[in-house]
Amino acid sequence: MTLDLPTISVVTFSATTVLGLVLCFVWWQERSSPLIGWWGVAQLVMASGIAFAAAASFASSAPLSAFGQALMVFSAAIMWMAAREFEGRSLNPLLVAIWPCGFVIASAVGIAATFDQRLILASTLLAILFLMAAAEFTRREGERLVSRWPAILLLVLMGVGYLAWMPLALTMPIHETSLVYASRWMPTVVLIALLGRIALAFVVLAIVKERQEMRQRLFALTDPLTGLPNRRALFEVAEAVAAHSQEFKGAPICVMLFDLDHFKKINDTYGHRLGDRVLQLFSKTLIDELDSGSTVGRLGGEEFAAILPGTKLSTAATKAEGVRAAFARAASFIDGLPVGGTVSVGVAAHDDISCDIGALFHRADGALYAAKQAGRNRVEVIGPNEALQYEETELDSAWYGERGPLSPAQHATRRYRGSGPADAA
């Protein structure tokens, strides 16, 4: 089967133009990500380059052919810079312009004087730019986008494909612009490049959609004021711990509940703006004082929580005291105002991570209640074999409100004597 290059050129130009217009339209409608818009612009520039290259073959014009090839290089440079911007790096127009300008200069001064030399130079630059774009998509290791890998694979294949033009141009040279349509291999590689561009466009749309969904989910699980996980996120962590409890069976687990003392008074005295600063300061204190293996979050209002898998009660009590003391120091004066912020902490532990974490939160709430009753600004702990002091109706935990009443077996052990290693705090 013989491929007709003039027909393929028309199809390639038309398909690439439509592709670019669709991508630009999608970006214009949603304004979701500049990656889609820039990728669409790149396709339109590529279509222009194809049109100039095709016209040059009919007109036997070497300058027109070089200009068309420069536009193709420009298109790849735009795609590379779009990938850079998507990964949070700078979008520098000079870095985009240097590639096609370099090609034009090389053609003008005679470095790439013949058609085959220009073809080899253009394909080499295209290959480099596609491989560089693939490298950009590998930079953000913390952002787990599954769609990255098809994009990286396609960009690498496109880059390798353009490198394959070099041996083809050397072994089966075209010699003159007017002889392009007589080439035996050019129709095949042009068609393959078109298929690659179409596939990349779909993958780009998939990447943007996946990132949007991931960020929407993250937003739904994040407290906007403090940046910490919210109550729903903490529930999901607890459920994940329960789901994997058999893997770590026998390991201890601790839960901490924090309640900022007299927070309403701080709001009433200094205003809600400073109250927000107090909440943000406490969030930073939690992050600074607790290990990265801990999950901390804001339950709502001035109530925070932390889940510490694999942590013993004595260690958790020490960490809780560190949070209490650090916050008392940091919140003593805020913006020159004598705020005197403090926090009460309740800590509950269990010897087995496969325990009922909902019940453990409730026990931590009992310890927190004891800290409040004992005068605030202190840490109270309750071990696995200790009973709660206060009755169920006295406790008011955000976790408990979500989980509902405890079972009769759990209710039977709900008394707490209000003492522990952190009582002196």
Helix residue ranges, H only, 60-164: 62-86, 93-108, 115-136, 148-163
Average pLDDT over residues 185-205: 93
Give ∠ CA 71-74-76 in degrees, rounded to 5: 115
Provide mean pLDDT across the span 175-184: 75
* Amino acid at the residue 408: P
pLDDT digits (tens, 9 = 90+) for 334-390: 988 999 999 999 999 887 666 777 888 888 999 999 999 999 999 999 877 666 665
Q: What per-residue confidence (pLDDT) applies to 388? A: 61
Report the chain's mean pLDDT, rounded to a whole number.
84
Residue 405: pLDDT above 50? no
Q: What is residue 275's predicted lDDT score, i.e. its pLDDT?
A: 93
Confidence (pLDDT) at 398: 43
**What is the fold of 231-411?**
Alpha-Beta Plaits (3.30.70)
List C-alpha distances in Å: 251 to 130, 334, 346.
Answer: 49, 40, 21
- Ranges of beta strands (E only) in 211-366 are 253-260, 295-300, 303-309, 343-350
Does residue 200 contact residue 129 with C-beta atoms inside 8 Å? no
Work out the percent of the chain whose per-residue pLDDT is above 90.
52
Query: 40-45: long-range contacts (C-beta < 8 A, 24 or more apart)?
Result: 41/78, 42/75, 42/76, 42/78, 42/79, 42/82, 43/16, 43/17, 43/19, 43/75, 43/197, 43/201, 44/16, 44/17, 44/20, 45/20, 45/71, 45/72, 45/74, 45/75, 45/78
Helix, coil or strand: residue 28 = helix
User: Token digits for 3?
Assistant: 């491929």
* DSSP for residue 172: S
**What does the pLDDT read at residue 418?**
32
96, 76 in Cβ contact below 8 A? no
Average pLDDT over residues 230-252: 76
Residues of the chain with CATH 1.20.1070: 5-220
Q: In terms of Cα–Cα distance, which of 34, 40, 47, 39 is closest to 21?
A: 40
Q: Which CATH class is domain 5-220?
A: mainly alpha
Higher confidence at residue 152 or residue 181?
152
pLDDT for 3: 64
What are 85's two structure tokens? 């911007």
pLDDT at 390: 55
> Is 243 strand, coil or helix?
helix
Query: Quick one: which of 126, 108, 127, 107 has its CA closest to 117?
Result: 107
Q: What is the dihedral of CA 328, 333, 334, 340, to 10 degrees?
A: 50
pLDDT tens readout for residues 71-126: 999 999 999 999 998 888 877 888 899 999 999 999 988 888 888 899 999 999 99
Render pLDDT for 222-233 as a digit per residue (tens, 0 to 9). 888 998 999 888
Confidence label for 173 from pLDDT (cuts 50, 70 and 90): confident
Residue 123: its pLDDT value, please?
95
CB 386 within 8 A of CB 416: yes
CATH 3.30.70.270 maps onto the chain at 231-411
The rounded distance, in Å, linking the Cα atoms of 327 and 181 is: 76
Lowest mean pLDDT among 120-134, 295-309, 398-412: 398-412
Angle between helices 115-136 and 148-163 (to 10 degrees): 160
User: What are the phi and psi torsion angles at 221 (to 5°)?
Assistant: -105, 10
Residue-wise pLDDT for 268-325, tens only, equals: 999 999 999 999 999 999 999 998 888 899 998 999 999 988 888 899 999 999 999 9
What is the average pLDDT across 213-226? 85
**In the structure, how many helices (H) and strands (E) does the chain have?**
15, 5
Contact 225, 276 (CB under 8 A): yes
Radius of gyration, alpha carbons of the chain: 32
pLDDT, residue 176, reads 75
